Amino acid sequence: MRRWVAGTEQSAVAEPSIRPPGGRAYWCDACRVPLLQSPCSVCGQDGRAVSSSNMRPVFAGEIRSLLALGAPSWLGPPRDFALWESGGRYYMGGYAIARLRRAPAPRRVSVEPIGKPAAQDARRRRSPLMRRLVAANYPRLRELEHQACVFIQEAVSVYPDRTLVVSFSGGKDSTVVSHLVRTALGRADILHMFADTGIEMPDTYRFLDTFRRDRPSVPLMVIRASADFFQLCHEIGPPSRIQRWCCSTQKAVPLGSVVNAANGAKGVLCFDGIRRAESSRRNGYLRITTKTKIGREVLASPILDWTDLEVWIYGLSAGLPINEAYLRGFKRVGCLYCPLNSAWSEALTALHYSNEHELWIATLRESACRAGHPDPDAFAQGAWRARAGGRGLASFRASVAASPCESHPHRVSYQTTGDWRDTLWSYIGMLGKLRIWHDDGMIAVGVLQDASGADLMSFRAVRPRQRLEVTYADGKGHRLLRQRIERQLRKYQSCVSCGACAAICPTGALSMHDSLIFNERLCTFCLKCVSMNCVAVESLTLKGRSTGAD
Ligand SMILES: [Zn+2]
């Protein structure tokens, strides 16, 4: 096996792939279980390819959910593993017997028969089936575990000074990673960090309690997002497929604030359960990377190439605890109000977490009414996911009112919005050395210099009029500097104190308390904070023509 040298992209790509043949699902007709490899290691027969995508087990609770959503009674009786699901189709005995269809709200899904159920499968007992499932897939399970453990041990040996952390979400993937890391390293005392977005599924909170009770030697830290999800919805609009600010504000930022403080400049080696199979956008993800939203983190993904079925069968074989949400039929465990949640997930949320669901629908309606949306009900029932820009929101905060000076070619006067706040100096200070020569409380005058002490621009702030007059130095860099200044002004005006720019800072020069605080002495002017896209600016910016979806 080739060794990778962590930290470089090329070597991480060279890590041998453990992707299964085509990611397909196979079925052993003799043992009546899905296969991760062919032939079956119990009976030796070749597996039959049953689906082009992955399979997952269906538990009794999901059959009850299906029946509650109007599925025909022949799907039952509710028993674990009587059915398997793949790509919205339900399989019994390796044959598709039903599929989920989209339906209008409020039901959102319907179940349509597409074949005759095999009666013998519905009666089979759980424990012999489980034993056969594990035995039939044993070679692949051992191979997966071995490769993941080798990867984890190597990552730790490459980054010996870093504090080890497991990013724990309460889902099946991070539960498997938690188990693998503790198995590979032969110790339980690896810090587990759970980012509590404030909008987790109620079952996830119960799962955390169980996990903590059953594994008292595993330190589990719950990090609550300081930004209130509903308050942010009010300020910058609800998240959408395009405006997924919540991932940053509710997850990456609170995790980042703890990770960045955990081990000083040495940083953290974080193991997470990210998998490519979850989304095509993750095709480019690396098994180990420093390119994360958190400045002092190296992220390692031991199960990056595992399929759903591999995670499921491995977890079952190891006897890992299962979040109740999966038993109800959720394919993923995550935020209740993720704009990427499927119609199926939303139907289950309405069914099982009705209070939370109604709160969200009411929030969306209120948001649509406030933004003057033509059809608030349609917005609340699904159009919110397609919101692209800040129509109807305080979008003026995301644009800069600049007036060029007629008498000086490089002088621009900026009219900022809202009351003047001196946090503006933090945003400008990230671009160079800020020197204020004169400040009487009303008017401040100063310059921005580069590393050699040469002036990049001079400025005059007139606080009572919320105005900043900038004279850019003549030179080839003035156009780029102007773009950056205006970018920073948009961030200053739109800031909701989410802390994303502080989280990405690798040196701790930026910190977020009530407002952004910048420490020039710690700054290396890497400009990561400047180049990152501000989620508040993005969410408030007007985009395209009015489509009604905005
Ligand atoms: Zn078999």
The alpha carbon of 138 and the centre of ligand 1 are apart by a number of angstroms equal to 12
pLDDT given for residue 279 in this prediction: 66
The alpha carbon of 139 and the centre of ligand 1 are apart by a number of angstroms equal to 13
On the 0-12 / 13-18 / 19+ scale of CB atoms within 10 A, 293 is middle
What average pLDDT score do residues 157-174 get?
Answer: 94
* Residue pLDDT, tens place only, 403-434: 998 888 899 999 999 889 999 999 999 999 99
The alpha carbon of 129 and the centre of ligand 1 are apart by a number of angstroms equal to 12
The alpha carbon of 93 and the centre of ligand 1 are apart by a number of angstroms equal to 13
d(CA 64, CA 225) in angstroms, rounded, equals 34
Which of 117-131, 179-193, 311-325, 528-542 comes out lowest in average pLDDT? 117-131
The alpha carbon of 96 and the centre of ligand 1 are apart by a number of angstroms equal to 19
Share of the chain above pLDDT 70, in %: 91
* Residue pLDDT, tens place only, 257-303: 887 777 677 889 999 999 987 766 666 667 888 777 677 889 999 99
pLDDT given for residue 276 in this prediction: 85
The alpha carbon of 146 and the centre of ligand 1 are apart by a number of angstroms equal to 23
What's the whole-number average pLDDT of the chain? 86
The alpha carbon of 29 and the centre of ligand 1 are apart by a number of angstroms equal to 7
The alpha carbon of 140 and the centre of ligand 1 are apart by a number of angstroms equal to 14
d(CA 357, CA 191) in angstroms, rounded, equals 33
pLDDT given for residue 541 in this prediction: 86
Residue 459 reports pLDDT greater than 90: yes
pLDDT given for residue 10 in this prediction: 34
On the 0-12 / 13-18 / 19+ scale of CB atoms within 10 A, 210 is middle
pLDDT given for residue 372 in this prediction: 87
pLDDT classification of 5: cutoffs 50, 70, 90: very low
The alpha carbon of 42 and the centre of ligand 1 are apart by a number of angstroms equal to 5
Peptide bond into 302 cis (omega under 30): no
Which of 7-16, 307-316, 320-329, 355-364 comes out lowest in average pLDDT? 7-16
The alpha carbon of 131 and the centre of ligand 1 are apart by a number of angstroms equal to 12
The alpha carbon of 373 and the centre of ligand 1 are apart by a number of angstroms equal to 57
On the 0-12 / 13-18 / 19+ scale of CB atoms within 10 A, 349 is buried
The alpha carbon of 134 and the centre of ligand 1 are apart by a number of angstroms equal to 11
* Residue pLDDT, tens place only, 305-329: 999 999 999 999 999 999 999 999 9
pLDDT classification of 15: cutoffs 50, 70, 90: very low
* Residue pLDDT, tens place only, 233-247: 988 888 988 888 888
The alpha carbon of 94 and the centre of ligand 1 are apart by a number of angstroms equal to 12
pLDDT given for residue 4 in this prediction: 36
The alpha carbon of 59 and the centre of ligand 1 are apart by a number of angstroms equal to 22
More confident residue, 146 or 281: 146
* Residue pLDDT, tens place only, 64-80: 999 998 888 877 788 88
What average pLDDT score do residues 354-371 get?
Answer: 92
What average pLDDT score do residues 490-500 get?
Answer: 89
Q: How many CA atoms lie within 13 A of 179 on its CB side?
A: 21
